[in-house]
Amino acid sequence: MSETRSTSTRTVPRWAAAPEWMTAGLLVAVFGVSAVFVPRFLDAAYLFDRSSLYMEAGLMALGMTFVIVGGHIDLSCASMLALVGTVVATLHVKVGWPLLPLVFLAPLLGAMLGGINGIVVARLGLPSLVVTLATMALYRGLAQVLLGDHSLNLPSWFTGIERVTIAGTLVPVPMVLFLGMAVALGWVLHQTVFGTWLFAMGTNAEAAQYSGVPVERVTMSVFVISGVLSAMAAIIMISRLGVARYDHALGLELDVITAVVLGGVSIFGGRGTVAGTVLALFLIAVLQTGMGVANVKAEYQATASGALLILAVLMSNFSAKLRTWTQMR
């Protein structure tokens, strides 16, 4: 795998060889196929309405982009979502705290949960796969302890955030939030020193350490970022569904990782862009929406998404091989 990563592309400009182009191409292709073959697909209101369902996964995918670029993985993001959602709902409904301040405190709770992941990974040097596997069970378990099998209803003024649109347009608020965060985090990842450190750490943590990158602090930060974004996704989800339950977003971490990898972020760390993740998220949204309109059952769609992920990686491997082969000639 290291052979494919070290491929330099002198004949083609660097940006043109980026896997993000394949994601973009697939997005256009899937959109085109859906538009031609699926009647009623090209209804802007419907498209916006459907894609707002994916913004929770999208926010978490932005955080996961940071984590994976840094050479780690965060399996606990969906559990953090569930725990933040249940804590916020419990404090409001059972303890009686006002909801609005809680909404703004939620990211802080997310930062704490992510911080726990970060401390264990960075300080104790344990593999993130194992640590977040444990906190994935732990955080969702705590949510279950808090609520059991019950669901807490939230007040009606708070629910339905996905139906609120920016005045005069069809763009729903969650999408604005997602795109806003994408721009902000894209700037952090690609324009700041922190971003440079992150890429260095993801490429080779030891070398980065010797080059003066504060590896421990950067590692902590990526998990905190992931926690904060999961908390934001939690608020959107409990508003959209109107209830908080411990099993919200069960298994969503896999969809999140799928989106990130599909967007061209290397699972080994050190390579990836926020733009790729955003493209991949819309690709998944359009694909599943298209299949939904075409009456493909939700369970079957999992097959298509899974196949898509593998296909994307195989194609990028193949195109990398092809490039090295043409260079050798």
The least CB distance from residue 43 to other proteins, in Å, is 26
Q: Which helix (H) or strand (E) holds 153?
A: strand 152-153
Q: Which is nearer to other proteins, 175 or 234 (CB)?
A: 234
User: Is residue 94 involved in binding other proteins (CB under 8 A)?
Assistant: no
Burial class (CB in 10 A: 0-12, 13-18, 19+), 193: exposed
119 binds other proteins (CB under 8 A): no
H/E element, 243: strand 243-244
Read off the tokens for 233: 């996704």
Q: Which of 137, 164, 166, 294 binds other proteins (CB under 8 A)?
A: 137
**Burial (0-12, 13-18, 19+ Cβ within 10 Å), 166:** exposed
Alpha-carbon span 140 to 136, nearest angstrom: 6
Question: Considering only residues 55, 61, 89, 131, which one is a binding residue for other proteins as defined by CB under 8 A?
Answer: 131
Q: Which of 96, 125, 168, 212 binds other proteins (CB under 8 A)?
A: 125
Site string (245-274) toward other proteins, x via CB under 8 A? -x----x--x--xx--x-----xx------
Among 144, 165, 204, 209, binds other proteins (CB under 8 A): 144
How far is Cα 314 from Cα 277, in angstroms, rounded to an integer? 18
Closest CA to 218 of 263, 269, 268, 281: 269
Helix or strand run (H / E) with residue 178 = helix 173-191
Distance of alpha carbon 266 from alpha carbon 273, whole angstroms: 10
| Total residues at interface with other proteins (CB under 8 A) | 48
17, 112, 119, 133: residue in contact with other proteins (rule CB under 8 A): 133
By CB under 8 A, residue 206 contacts other proteins: no
The answer to the question of residue 297 lying near other proteins (CB under 8 A) is yes
The answer to the question of residue 148 lying near other proteins (CB under 8 A) is yes
Residues in touch with other proteins (CB under 8 A): 1, 4, 73, 120, 124-127, 129-131, 133-142, 144-145, 148, 246, 251, 254, 257-258, 261, 267-268, 297, 299-310, 313-314, 317
